[in-house]
């Protein structure tokens, strides 16, 4: 009896092809892919050159869009879907900690994909304007029109006489000449008077993101314990 009921229940599902829903799915998917592609390929990738994150962002955007579009089709609760992807968005990859810039882009494409998949009660003009705002804000923040991109790195500095506060201008000038970078600021870390060296964190204007900034041998940056 239960088996017969299940079969009758399955037969009640609509298995006919709905051209309207198919066109809507295809149109919204293409729009979502174009918007996320513009942001990732033209704004994120030129500075980072990280193909692994490029792949991750595109596939994540596609997966979220398709899943949310289908979840909305079968009338599941939207709050559950958003909560699921909010949890996913704050997860860290086990192999490496995701940098703050990549994490920001991850949240960005998640938000765009959710909007494009679920907002069906607004006009296409409003939807296009919303996507255009995302693109415009991303472009503005990545450009140097608001703030110049400042990177930082740790260096071991041997001119111990220039670490004095009153000689900071000379320190910055010497670091700029020796590194070839436009150094804007320098912070003094641990000082080793036995070796006449100091750990200095320099800040410099950069046109692209350097993923090696801030990395190095930590034992060289930490003062030895007594």
Q: Indicate whether 149 pLDDT > 80.
A: no
Q: How sure is the predictor about 31, in pLDDT bands with cuts at 50, 70 and 90?
A: very high
- Give residue-wise pLDDT tens across range 174-220: 988 888 888 888 888 888 888 888 999 988 887 666 655 555 444 44
Q: Indicate whether 224 pLDDT > 50.
A: no
- Top pLDDT among 191 and 4 is at 191
Tell me if the pTM is above 0.75. no
**pLDDT at residue 72, rounded to an integer:** 61
Structure tokens at 37: 């592609």
**pLDDT at residue 3, rounded to an integer:** 46
Please say whether the beta carbons of 45 and 39 come within 8 A: no
Distance, in Å, from the CA atom of 156 to the CA atom of 162, rounded to the nearest integer, reads 13
Instruction: Give mean pLDDT, residues 129-157.
Output: 83
160, 161, 162, 165: CA torsion to nearest 10: 110
- Give residue-wise pLDDT tens across range 54-82: 898 999 889 888 887 877 654 555 565 55
**Ramachandran angles phi, psi of 198, nearest 5°:** -145, 150
Please say whether the beta carbons of 189 and 198 come within 8 A: yes
Q: Where are the domains of the chain?
A: 14-142, 150-221
- Give residue-wise pLDDT tens across range 160-175: 888 888 888 998 899 8
The per-residue pLDDT of the chain, averaged, comes to 76
Structure tokens at 220: 């060289």
């Amino acid at each position: 009896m239960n088996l017969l009921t299940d079969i009758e229940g399955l037969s009640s599902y609509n298995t006919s092809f709905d051209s309207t829903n198919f066109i809507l799915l295809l149109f919204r998917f293409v729009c979502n892919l174009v918007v996320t592609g513009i942001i990732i390929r033209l704004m994120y990738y030129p500075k980072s050159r990280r193909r692994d994150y490029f792949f991750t962002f595109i596939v994540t955007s596609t997966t979220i869009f398709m899943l949310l579009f289908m979840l909305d089709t079968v009338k599941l609760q939207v709050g559950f879907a958003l909560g699921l992807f909010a949890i996913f968005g704050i997860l860290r990859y086990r192999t490496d900690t995701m940098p703050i810039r990549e994490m920001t882009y991850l949240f960005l494409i998640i938000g765009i994909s959710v909007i494009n998949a679920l907002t069906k009660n607004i006009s296409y003009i409003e939807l296009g304007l919303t996507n255009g705002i995302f693109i415009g804000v991303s472009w503005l923040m990545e450009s140097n029109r608001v703030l110049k991109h400042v990177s930082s790195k740790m260096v071991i500095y041997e001119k111990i006489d220039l670490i004095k506060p009153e000689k900071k201008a000379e320190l910055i000038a010497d670091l700029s000449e020796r590194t070839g970078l436009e150094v804007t600021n320098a912070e003094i870390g641990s000082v080793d008077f036995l070796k006449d060296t100091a750990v200095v964190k320099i800040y410099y204007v950069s046109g692209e993101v350097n993923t090696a900034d801030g990395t190095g041998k930590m034992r060289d940056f930490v003062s030895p314990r007594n």
